[in-house]
Amino acid sequence: MAMIWRGLALAAGVWITAATVADAAEVRREPAGALADGTPIEAITLSNETGVSARILTYGATLQSLSGPDRDGRIADVVLGYDTASDYVDHPNYFGVTVGRYANRIAGGRFSLDGRTYQLPLNDTTNSLHGGGQAFDKVVWRVVSVEDGPQARVVLSHVSPNGDAGYPGELDATVTYSLDDSGGLTIAFDATTSAPTIVNMTNHAIFNLAGEGTPGGIERHRLTIPAAAYTPVDAALIPTGELRSVAGTVFDFRAPRVIGDGLRDARDEQIRLGRGYDHNFALDKGMTDEPALAARLEDPDSGRVLEVLTTDPGLQVYSGNFLDGTLVGKGGHLYRMGDGIALEPQKFPNAPNEPAFVQARVDPDRPYRHVMVYRLSTAD
């Protein structure tokens, strides 16, 4: 019988390991640099015995890397990003970050609660995007705990003060990353507020399952989304309020569809407005208590498969349309449109201004929770 043992150490640079006959999980916590004011940044790496690993930075509660084997066992990092924490600070572009308080766009940066209107920063022309210019992606989160076991886990926290970026209420937010022994990375977002507010948190990883920086990007990837409708947008990329059928359009991913088939199809006005895919899909499942399938992404060359599960009702699909070759990413790669795709579970964009959408209101007696999963595997 294999030896059963367990060790625990939280000092920087020390492995935390659990091993049993059935599973093995490892956690590494180490320094990753510092902000200009001296605030330290840490990196926490979660690994399992199948070869899947995730590296999380405390800056932005960022998923810096997610690596896994292809069908032949070769390991590759499948998310776009930077090699160093300082690059995330100096060249922000939402790679793998936790976005909040409100992911996606709010028209005019304005919303109302209980008869009062709140103004947010405008950092996307006429819109507020991903919480505004100084949001959850640009702060160092505190490490609450690091745990080993069948699920290697790190819990991060951040307190956003009342009035931060114009949002009401002091918000106490946590992000928990957990890696299981089957290749599933669960990300749980929790928050409590001191006053009524809006919250919509997600992760903004941009994927290339062939391996970050692989030529050709994601155009040959096949994508499946169980959604019969999506939310078309106006010229400012704000949903019009309509739920439009995907039938007969390049937005129909109910069966596996090659992303490149519709990515540059300018016959569709929505593709022209988004410069590709930058749209929210209304998932057939709606809101659920447990994470359910939102998307399946497949790379036929490597055999890697990514399943995205969520408790939320929407999925933003973004094909990297604003990557223009000016950002130097991991390994010196220049990132361009189509080099990766983001699959962001969420409430709908601009929901606070669209009463028919599932609302994002959070009250002191009703905490916020969103659970999503990135599950890596392989297929023949």
**How open is the CA angle 238-234-361, to the nearest 5 degrees?**
20
| Rounded CA separation 175/166 (Å) | 22
Dihedral angle over CA of 214, 220, 224, 227, nearest 10: 100
Domain count within the chain = 1
Assess contact for 176 and 153: CB atoms under 8 A: yes
Is the four-CA dihedral 27, 31, 32, 38 of positive or negative sign? positive
H helices present in the chain, as ranges: 85-90, 260-263, 269-274
Averaged pLDDT, 345-364: 98
> In residues, how long is the chain?
380
What pLDDT is stored for residue 11 in this prediction?
37
User: Catalytic: 370?
Assistant: no
Q: Which of 130, 204, 221, 370 is catalytic?
A: 204
Give the domain range for residue 371. Answer: 5-378
- The CATH number of whichever domain residue 327 belongs to comes to 2.70.98.10
Cα radius of gyration (the chain)? 20
**pLDDT 10s digits, 298-342:** 999 999 999 999 999 999 999 999 999 999 999 999 999 999 999
Assess contact for 54 and 186: CB atoms under 8 A: no
β-strand partners of 66: 54
Q: How many CB atoms lie within 10 A of CB 30?
A: 14
Pairing relation of β-strands 334-336 and 202-203? unpaired
- Which of 171, 143, 173, 169 lies closest to 156, judged by CA? 143
What pLDDT is stored for residue 195 in this prediction?
98
What pLDDT is stored for residue 313 in this prediction?
98
DSSP secondary structure, 174-195, as one string:
EEEEEE-TTSEEEEEEEEEESS
User: Catalytic: 344?
Assistant: yes
What pLDDT is stored for residue 14 in this prediction?
41
| Rounded CA separation 364/115 (Å) | 18
**pLDDT 10s digits, 79-117:** 999 999 999 999 999 999 999 999 999 999 999 999 999
Q: Which of 212, 279, 344, 370 is catalytic?
A: 344
**How open is the CA angle 159-140-124, to the nearest 5 degrees?**
85
What pLDDT is stored for residue 24 in this prediction?
66
**In the block, which residue shows the tokens 């899947």?**
52
**How open is the CA angle 291-295-301, to the nearest 5 degrees?**
135
β-strand partners of 217: none
| Rounded CA separation 106/62 (Å) | 23
Q: How does residue 150 score in pLDDT terms, banded at 50, 70 and 90? A: confident
| Rounded CA separation 105/103 (Å) | 7
Q: Is residue 67's pLDDT more than 50?
A: yes
Pairing relation of β-strands 171-179 and 184-193? antiparallel
Averaged pLDDT, 252-272: 96
136: helix, strand or coil: helix
